[in-house]
Amino acid sequence: MIPYVDRDLLKTFATVFAFLLLFVQVGIFVSFLMNMYSDIFGGSETKVLWFLMYYAFSLPRQLANTVPVASAVSVLLVYTMKARTNELLAYMVGGISPLRLARPLLVVTLILSGLTYATTEFLANKGDAQAERIKRVFIEERSEESLTKESKLFQKGQSDRFYMIRSFQPSQNRMDFPYIFELYPGWKSIKWSLEAKSAEFVEAEGSETEETEARDKGQWRFDDAILREYSEDGQVTTYRSFASGLETEILPNGSRLESELARYIKQRWRPSQMTAMELLDYIELFQLQNKPTYELKTHLHFNIATALGCFVLTCLMIGHILRPASAGVLVGFGGGLILIAVYYVAFLFARDASMVGTIPAILGAQGPNVLFLMVALFMLNRNRTV
């Protein structure tokens, strides 16, 4: 049986939290509608249904972003309301410590942190991709190829060779900014790598017949290309650059690139839309080719840090609002809002610093959480008794 104190606090928290989330989502809905109003109602047919689908797919991301701050503000409001009606005073006079009063909401927000991370990992990432597709193709009426070119990364892993391409246009058989590399057996190190500004497939004469072998259909031609070969210990043994016209005939050991690349590559979304396992796999590939990984690692750690922020902010708000010095709406509620703002300024500053490699990604992501959690625990410790 849940004690009355816990039921009372949880009921009030649930009511305030639901209201805040609904209020924020209505604001986001109206903002989306105003931004896309001309595209929705400007044509011969309205696209209200597509807009509703766009909003539905973007909802998981909106919830993941707003739950931490909504839970923190809800905690502030709950304890401020209880203080104004002298309910907190009655509980404390009855022998219930501030730390005991904090327990039910700490447990709930810890659960919310886990749900927020699960939403980000399994719903928000894929929902963003679908929302972007609906917006580009069905609301803005742009071509599907423009979405492919601007929104997706491509990687192909077959045997020991990988493609990493900024954009790929299957209809034209063209790659933009490809980076292709092949590994030694066992993935010990890179065997050779090829990077270029662009590449397009040039068909061989008479290659249209069905009997033509794939290797005889033609070859890829690269512009502004750099070809490197490596020894098994990772040292560069050959370095060649080509302004234009590099054809795959000169690749090491007679290697050839697939003529029908679209059948072999594996499609991936932007790093911000990848799951943790996809990011870990992508980071490993970048490390094998000695490419910087700080941006990818930042996305990985900040997905976790954002979810943990829900619990950290709750600890901070409870530690602040239950202090005797925080009595009153101005000091209690107003001071709590300032603390939330300071937390997010530090959070965003650390994220930007880790994105460019100024500080390690894990420090940039979890540093603000650790710092503010220590402050919150200090305040909670001071409030452990009546």
Q: What is the mean pLDDT of residues 345-369?
A: 92
Residue 334 lies in a domain: no
- Position 269 scores a pLDDT of 64
- What's the chain's average pLDDT? 82
Q: Is residue 364 part of a domain?
A: no
Band (pLDDT 50/70/90 cuts) for residue 207 is: very low
pLDDT score of 214 more than 50: no
Question: Residue 161: inside a domain, yes or no?
Answer: yes
Q: Find the length of the chain.
A: 386
Residue 164, in any domain of the structure: yes
Query: What is the distance between the alpha carbons of residues 104 and 383, in angstroms, rounded to a whole number?
Result: 16
Residue 384 has a pLDDT of 62
Question: What is the pLDDT at residue 326?
Answer: 52
Q: Is residue 192 part of a domain?
A: yes
Work out how many domains the chain is built from and give that number: 1
Query: What is the per-residue pLDDT across 312-331, written as a single tens digit (0 to 9) for each?
Result: 999 999 888 887 655 555 67
32: in domain: no
Q: How much is the average pLDDT of 234-261?
A: 71
**Residue 215, domain member (yes or no):** yes
Is residue 239 situated within a structural domain?
yes
Residue of 325 and 137 predicted with greater confidence: 137
Q: Among 14-23, 51-60, 312-321, which is the least confidently predicted range? A: 312-321
pLDDT tens, 262-288? 655 655 667 777 888 888 887 887 777
The stretch 93-100 carries a mean pLDDT of 82
Q: What is the pLDDT of residue 211?
A: 42
Does this model's pTM top 0.85?
no
Domain that holds residue 193: 152-270
